Every structure is written in C-alpha cells, then in structure tokens.
Amino acid sequence: MTLADRISAAQDQNKNKYICKLIMITKDPKLSKKDIDALTEVINSTEHSDGHIPNARLAHALREEGYDVSASAVDRHRGGRCACYRKAGEK
C-alpha cells in the first residue's frame, strides 16, 4: 500500500465514523444504485410521505436482508439523534 492509498483509506474510515448503522447500509458496495435510492428515500420519508414505512417495519425488512439494525436505530436516525448528526470531535 502506498502512502497515498493509506491516507485515502484513513479518510474513508473517518468518513464512516460519523454515520450510524442505518446509513452504513446505504454505503454497502453490494447494493445497486436502485436499492440505495429506494432505501435512502424510505429512510428520509416521514409519516406523511407516500410509501412511508414505520421504524419497526423498516428495521424488520432490513434484518430480513441480513443487516443488523434495530427499530430504535431507525428511530434515532430519523429523529436526528444518531451518529450522523454528531460533529467531528464530539463523542
């Protein structure tokens, strides 16, 4: 690994440090753009949006696809209380 590769890898790790488990799924290289778009849309939907899926049901669907995510993780992300909303340097 060259130094440039190593720096780039460290930057990638740092990027993922401040995202929660739910958003981590949207970074899964196995997913197609269509999957990621659909997932992102449903994550960002509110109970008034078309096609909205409640937290528990979304978590269940993701677990069926093999992702370890709980309803409370979905709830924290949608409520802005997850790692995604923490600023660098904060714990």
User: One symbol per residue from 67 to 86: x for binding Zn ion (CB under 5 A), - otherwise; what is it?
Assistant: ----------x----x-x--
The span from the CA of 84 to the CA of 91, in Å, is 12
Nearer to Zn ion, 7 or 56 (CB): 56
- Containing 90, the helix (H) or strand (E) segment is none
Residue 39 binding Zn ion, by CB under 5 A: no
Burial (0-12, 13-18, 19+ Cβ within 10 Å), 61: middle
Q: Which lies closer to Zn ion via its Cβ, residue 20 or residue 25? A: 20
Residue ranges in contact with Zn ion by CB under 5 A: 20, 23, 77, 82, 84
